[in-house]
Structure 1
Amino acid sequence: MATDWRWRAFDALTARELHDILKLRCDVFVVEQACAFPEIDGRDPEAHHLMGFEASGLAGCLRLFGPSAEEPAWRIGRIAVGPGQRGTGLGHRMMAEALRFAAEGSPGHAIVLSAQSRLEAFYARHGFEAEGLPYLEDGIEHVDMRRPGHTGLT
């Protein structure tokens, strides 16, 4: 199935796109994972947003923060894949698209993320390595992961 990838800065998101992103993230993180946390954290306006649309609508999304003085690496977060698309390879295609975007935007910078520990092997397939010990975030075990300076290839 072909995925329609769309990158948007926050201010370029349509009302429908923003609604679909927030709904998917709430469905996955708050409802499915039974995790009460501030999903709308005030950081979305700073991010690049990747949306993957399929025939059924928004199938997956993530947000990507560019390198800054505070964090000299790209940071991927809020990676969500709808239940109906899991196991189809959408998550891997979404990560490949994020790596491509980062490599084109600022080649050579590392990429970091905070992974749910159960997904550590998934991210390792994209060149990420665990850093430090696992920790609890919102009641779910996570581990920080880093992908050294990259070429955008998975």
Structure 2
Amino acid sequence: MFVLKTFKELTLEELNEIYLLRGLVFVVGQKITEENEIDRADRQALHFFHANEAGEVLAYLRLFDLGVFSDDSHPLDPGAWSMGRVAVHPDARGTGLGRELLGAAINWVRTTTEAQRISISAQAYLKDRYYGAAGFKQVGEDYLEAGIDHVHMVLEL
């Protein structure tokens, strides 16, 4: 159901669909314009997604090994992985696809890597019913990121 690819493994069609979904969710839907939605971190990420039969990406997130990758948004943290840019197409919301995506990604990190934890920056309004339900715990206080309340959350593996 879910596909995992490096940036170089993505087809042009898949990359276009990923960027269309992220633009729809983050730029159009959430009006995030303070920072580039598309960034060079995509080149280092693993891209985890589900596409329908027509090739439209309906659910997406990206993964990083924080022991080897860091940038302004992702501090080096050996033993940790991160996931971000979690997006579900508006037409697929309420179907459980987002929870399946999150669960499958957590399972992939747990079974495929030697990670001890997953560390994320989550939108605060999703912390309890979405990430908390998956076992993540809030660490620290809320903060603003791209004009939206966020929280740092960690899932111990």
Please report the TM-score for the alignment, with normalisation by the length of structure 1: 0.90
User: Would you say 1:39 and 2:46 are equivalent positions?
Assistant: no
What's 1:62 paired with? 61
Greater CA deviation, 46-55 or 11-20? 46-55
User: Would you say 1:16 and 2:20 are equivalent positions?
Assistant: no
In structure 2, give the amino acid aligned to 1:109: Q
Gap regions ≥5 residues in structure 1:
none
| CA deviation profile, 1:32-71 (whole Å, cap 9, x unmatched) | 1111021112101111101112345211100000241522
Number of positions where the alignment pairs a residue of Structure 1 with one of Structure 2: 146
For the 8 Å contact 2:109–2:115, the answer to whether it is kept is no
What is the alpha-carbon root mean square deviation over aligned residues? Answer: 1.2
What's 1:84 paired with? 91
In structure 1, give the amino acid aligned to 2:83: I
Matched residues in 1 for 2:152 and 2:97: separation?
Answer: 22
| CA deviation profile, 1:105-126 (whole Å, cap 9, x unmatched) | 2245100111100000110111
In structure 2, give the amino acid aligned to 1:68: G
In structure 1, give the amino acid aligned to 2:15: L
Matched residues in 1 for 2:6 and 2:139: separation?
Answer: 29
User: Would you say 1:28 and 2:29 are equivalent positions?
Assistant: no
For the 8 Å contact 2:81–2:115, the answer to whether it is kept is no
| CA deviation profile, 1:5-31 (whole Å, cap 9, x unmatched) | 111011100000000111100110011
Match for 2:77 among 67, 71, 74? 71
Gap regions ≥5 residues in structure 2:
69-75
| CA deviation profile, 1:56-87 (whole Å, cap 9, x unmatched) | 52111000002415222000000000001111
What's 2:135 paired with? 127
